[in-house]
Structure 1
C-alpha cells in the first residue's frame, strides 16, 4: 500500500491517534476467522523450556557485550503498561544485579511535559502515546537520545506503520511499545439468535444491513453501533473508517484538510447508521458503551485489539459470548487494516546511563521474551513482529474461544502509515469540537462545517508553528 507520510516544512508527518488502549477473540457457532497456526517443533515441554532458558541467557549475554547494563534509571508508564513494565524491570534486574530500575506510575504525561519544558526531573525512559511523538520531537527538540544504533537493526522486525512515528528525519528517537490493529468485536449469541452470519460482513454496507436485521429481530432493543454523536467524549468510531481509507487531516503540503473525501465518506457511513436507526448515541462514550454492552443494547464494537482486555475486565459474565472478525471495508476487497491506539518510549538525552536504557529497551521491547511478558501480564500487543508466533499470542483465549492476538497479527502489515504530524492533537481537538457535533447532532451541511473547521484549524496550526 502506498504510504501516506511526507516531510512537511518544520513538521514531520507520521503518528497515531487513539485514546488509550489492549486485545480480542470469540466463542461462536459461526465459522472462526482463519488464524495463523503457531510454529510446531519436536521438543517436549521440558526441552522447550530449557531451550527458552538458554535463549534468554544467550540474549542477556549478547546484550551484556553490547551495552553497559549497570546503573540506576527511572521509567514512567501508565495503566496496564505500568503493570507489565514493572514485571519486566524485576526480571531484568534479576539477570543484571548491577542495574536498578524504578518504575513510576503516571496518569498521563501532563507532569512530563512540564519536566521537558523546564529540563528538570525528566525520567530516563518515558512512555508516550504514539500520536504525540512527532509533536514531542518538534516541541522538545534536543530532549531525546538518538537511539539509531539500537533501532536501525530492528526496522525489519517492526509493524511497518509505526516506523514513521519513531524517527525525526533519519534519526531514531523512539522505540515502539504496543500497537493496536483494529477488528470487529461482536456478540456471537445475538448474531446467532438474529440469524446474522458474521462471515457475510465484508463491507460497511453489509454491516449496516446486519444492523437493520438485528434492530428488527430485537424490536429495537439492540443496536449494532454506538458512538458519541457530539464527539465531545470521543470521535474514535468515525476515525476508524477515515484511517481505513488512508485518510489524513493534512494535505501533502502540510496544510489542514478536514474536507477530504476520506472524511466525507466516513461521516456519510455513520450518518446512514443514524438514519437507519441502527446506531445509539453514547454521550460519555467510554462508560456508556460498557453499560450498553452489559444490558445487551449494543452488540458490536470496532476497536483496537486492546479492547479484548476491556471486555474481559468489565464484562466477565459474558465470557463465551464474544468473538472477533476483521473490520468491514469501505468497498468489497478494499483495505480493512487500521491501527487504533498504541504507545512508544523515548530516552532522555540527559540520562546518566544511556547504555542501560538501550539495553533494557532491547530486551523488553525488541525480543520475544519481553513481548511475552507484555502479552501475558497486560495483554499488550507489541510492535515486535517476530513474537507473533509465540504461544502467548497464538493460544486460545477462553473468553473468546479464539486468539485475538493471532487475528491481530494478520491485520497489521498493511496498515496505512499513521497520519499524525506535529501538533496533530491540537488540530484534532478542533475537528472534534467543530465538525462532529455540528454534523451528527445539529444536522448542519457537512461541506460547510468541514470547510469552516478547516479554516479555524489552519490558523491554529500556523500559530503553533509560529508562522
Structure 2
C-alpha cells in the first residue's frame, strides 16, 4: 500500500514538472489503475573489449564498481544480471545502489563528490551533462557498426561516444481491432496520416459523436516528446547537427497541421496519457487509435480491463505515401562519469549487460520479475533482434509485438539530435502545442512563437 501511495503522490505532482522522465511517468501513471511495466533493453553477443583510452586502467578486471540505477522494477532486473557477470568476472564486486538518478546525478557530477562508476540516464537528459561523461569511443568500437544509428547519435557528443545505448523505443499505432471491424475499416488501408483521419471519421460515424477516436496528448512535457517522435519520423529534430534551432520548418508544420485537423474535426480525445480520464475514455469505446511509443503496451497488458485483448499494434502511418513508418519516442542509456574511480570496471559491467547474450537475455527475457519478459521496448543492438526475447502480448490478443516492432527498426531515421535545453523548452514548445489544441494559436504561430521564445529565453542566455 505504501508503494501505491508513493506512486499516487508522484502522479499528482507530475503535471507541474516540465523536465519529465519517460520512465518516471510510466511508473507513476500505472498507479491510477494497475502497476507499471518496465522499460526495454538492448544487446548482442560479444567478448569483453580491452581497448585502451586516454585515462583510466583499461585492463583492470578486479575491484569494486559502484552502479546507480532507479529503484523499482528496473533495479531488480538489472540486479539479477550481477550473478552472470560475476561468473565472467569473479573478482569484480558490483555495488548496486538504488537512487533517484534524475535528482541526484546532476549535482553529483557537477560537484565531483561521491560519483558512481556508472549510471542509468534518460536520453533527453544526456546533452546537458555530456562534458562530465567518460569517453568510451575506443571501448565501444567492436559494437558500433551494429548499434541502431539513432541511439548511437544521441550518445555521441563532439564526435566522441560518451554513453552506452540501452533501450530503443519505436513508435507504433495502437488500434482497437474490433471497433475498426465494426466500422468497416481495414487496418492495412491506414498508410498515411490522412488515411488515419479518414479512418477515424468512419469509426466516429459508427460509434457516434462521443467517440473521438484519436488520442491527443494533454501534458505539455509528453506532448513535446510525442511531437519529437513525429519529427524523427520525418528525419528531423528540434536542432540540427550544429545545434541550430529548426522547429519553424515544413516537417513541424506537417505535425501541427495534423493535430489541428484532428482537433477541428472533433476526432480527438484529449487526455493525459493513461490518466483516469484517458483510461475511462478507452474503456468506454471512445478511443480507437493511439499513436505512441511501444511502451504504451503496458496499458492493454496490465491497465485496461474491459478492452484487454482487443487492441493491436502496427507501424505508424507515413507522412507522405510511401514514406517511412518508423520513429523513436524516448529512450535511455548508461553513462560512466569522468571522475569515476573504476571506469573500466563499469564498462565491463555495461558491456555484459548490454552486449552479451547472458546479459540482455537475463534482463529482456522472461525473469522472476516479469515472467513473460519486458516488452515495453526492444534492443538497439541489431544482433539481438534475431531471436524473440519476450512472449507475445495477451493485451494485444496474443499478437507477436516483437515481430511488429522490430520490423520498423531498419527504417528509423538516424539524423536526430537532442538539444541541451530540451527539458527547459517544454514551457514554450510543449505548452504552445497545447494552446494550438485549445484553439488559441495557429500551426504557424506555434512554430514561430516557440522558436522566438526558445531562441531568446534559452539559447541566447547560454
Offset, 1:96 = 3.2
- Aligned-residue CA RMSD (Å): 2.9
Indicate if the aligned counterparts of 1:72 and 1:100 stay in contact, CA closer than 8 A: yes
2:115 match: 122
Superposition TM-score, scaled by structure 1 size: 0.79
Indicate if the aligned counterparts of 2:218 and 2:271 stay in contact, CA closer than 8 A: yes
Tell me: CA distance 1:151–1:112, structure 2 relative to 1, closer, same or farther (3 Å): same
2:181 match: 192
Indicate if the aligned counterparts of 1:232 and 1:432 stay in contact, CA closer than 8 A: yes
Offset, 1:286 = 4.4
Superposition TM-score, scaled by structure 2 size: 0.80
1:444 match: 441
1:29 match: none
2:423 to 415, 422, 425: 425
Q: How many Å separate the matches in 2 of 1:295 and 1:260?
A: 38
Indicate if the aligned counterparts of 1:176 and 1:345 stay in contact, CA closer than 8 A: yes
Q: How many Å separate the matches in 2 of 1:464 and 1:84?
A: 41
2:136 to 141, 147, 166: 147
**How does 1:37-48 map onto structure 2 within 5 Å?**
none
Matched, 1:76 2:68: yes
Matched, 1:396 2:389: no
Q: How many Å separate the matches in 1 of 2:229 and 2:265?
A: 20
Local SS of the residue matching 1:272: helix
2:229 match: 240
1:181 match: 170
Tell me: CA distance 1:452–1:278, structure 2 relative to 1, closer, same or farther (3 Å): closer
2:207 to 218, 224, 235: 218
1:169 to 137, 146, 158: 158
Question: How many residues are paired up?
Answer: 408
Matched, 1:386 2:383: yes
1:336 to 317, 325, 335: 325
1:257 match: 246
Matched, 1:202 2:191: yes
Q: How many Å separate the matches in 1 of 2:47 and 2:241?
A: 43
Gaps of 5+ in 1: 1-16, 23-54
Matched, 1:408 2:405: yes
Residues 118-146 of structure 1: CA deviation (Å, up to 9, x unaligned): 11122211111112222221xxx2x2222
1:461 to 455, 458, 461: 458
Offset, 1:459 = 1.7
Local SS of the residue matching 1:104: strand
Higher relative contact order (CA closer than 8 Å, sequence separation 6+): 1
Offset, 1:208 = 0.6
Structure 1 stretches of 4+ with a deviation exceeding 6 A read: 60-63
Residues 35-65 of structure 1: CA deviation (Å, up to 9, x unaligned): xxxxxxxxxxxxxxxxxxxx99x958999xx
2:362 match: 373
Tell me: CA distance 1:407–1:449, structure 2 relative to 1, closer, same or farther (3 Å): closer
Offset, 1:175 = 0.5
Residues 70-120 of structure 1: CA deviation (Å, up to 9, x unaligned): 222222223543232112223323543322223333444121111112111
Q: Which moved more, 1:340-349 or 1:278-287?
A: 278-287
Gaps of 5+ in 2: 1-19, 27-43, 52-57, 366-372
